[in-house]
Structure 1
Amino acid sequence: MAGYTEGQNVDEIAEMMRYKKIAGKIRKRRAAAVCLGAAVVFGAVFLANSIRQPVIVAGDCMRYTIEDGSQCTVNRLAYIFEKPMYNDLIIYKSGKETKISRILGLPGDRVEIKGGKISINGRPVEEYIQVPGETELTFILDAEQYYVLPDVPGDVSEGSCCIQLEQIVGRVSADQKGGAVGK
């Protein structure tokens, strides 16, 4: 004859209460894990959208590199951990305008424009960059100052082509339609 004693009944009730507490803790941890997972996914999507921003190039200032109307992607965090380098294609703010150019000179470089040619530290830059032949200019870039030019330069004066690091929005790192050949 199987029967329960009063002591066994109390032990079973205590065991059930303990299991209910454990089950409640597990439900709370699962809910917290789901919330954390959702927050991580939301944060990753937000971060990915704020780091890489698609832009459409309007105009032919970079026609040897990027076609007018091409869609490019700008890496907005490219220069947080590293400095801009020679020949990087960048997007930068100039007043209220956003422009795209190539970095030709880095801080401390000597820029010389003479006879329609540009040289940086005595070395001529790429052949396809042509400047008006009457322009003659020599200067040294300050700290945090970069010399930039579009592939098809117009005004190459010191003031129009020298930008500060804080003006740079990001590096043109890729394009979705095959128009950019930059990094």
Structure 2
Amino acid sequence: MGFTNVAWESRSTEQLARDLTEGPGPTPAGQAGASWVRVANELAAVSEEYQRLADQLTGAFESGSADAVVRRIQDFGEWLRAMSLSAAGNGQRAEEAAVAHSVAILAMPTVAEAVEAQTTRDVMASLAAYNGAILNGRFAEFDEAADADQTSAAAVMQQYEDSCSDLAEPWDQPPPPDVSNGSAR
């Protein structure tokens, strides 16, 4: 079991198809990914502008504590770059989840296909009392096909969950550096 704590193989093919297709779909995750990428791009632009200003400012320092001030300015610039990369990583994870959702939908039997297979299985089970060899052979074929569909559907859901497992973990967001001693008012 993965981070959802769902035993996918314990659910029917129809339920798995519904679980996957009756939600909002991949769009919200894709939109979140695109938003994170926009945040990352903006942070990268801010970081570049900050670095340009910091380079100008650090050239102007000529005091005994200039090295400490320059180091703090550089630390903040590095933090801005790290935030940009972190936001880009968040965007990538969200976009990968959207793609994983789409891939899972394409691999999953439709709800209609699952209902059709289960109905066929139920009809064959109701006719099993007639006990004809041909009928029993057909029943076994339908039963095997339904079992294979369920196994495949459970595997699709497990793969989808595995593909999204990074989203279940907290994202690494670097804390801002301590750039002042707090005495400024």
Structure (1/2) with the larger strand percentage: 1
Kindly indicate whether structure 1 or structure 2 has the higher relative contact order, using CA contacts under 8 Å at least 6 residues apart.
2
Q: TM-score, normalised by structure 2?
A: 0.34
Q: TM-score, normalised by structure 1?
A: 0.34
Structure (1/2) with the larger helix percentage: 2
Larger radius of gyration: 1
